[in-house]
Amino acid sequence: MMSMNTLLLIKAKELKARRLQSAQHVFAAHSEGIDYTSAHLSPVKLSANAG
């Protein structure tokens, strides 16, 4: 038999989901400002940076 009751299990699951969502939001916000496009995949960027 489990020692945790249903309410505690629900609260723990909610907290885990909230933390995951928060972490994903922070990661997405951080990644948004970085340009990962490779010049090899984008010749336009390569020529724009050369000038």
Q: Which two tokens stand for residue 8?
A: 């505690």
Measured distance CA(49)–CA(44) in Å, rounded: 9
Please tell me the predicted confidence (pLDDT) of residue 31.
66
Q: Residues 1-51: pLDDT tens digits? A: 556 799 999 999 999 999 999 988 887 776 666 666 666 666 666 566 665
End-to-end CA distance of the chain: 71
3-state SS class at 40: coil
From residue 39, alpha-carbon distances to 34, 35, 49 in Å are 14, 11, 9
In this structure, the number of other CB atoms found within 10 A of the CB of residue 1 comes to 2
Q: Where are the domains of the chain?
A: 6-50
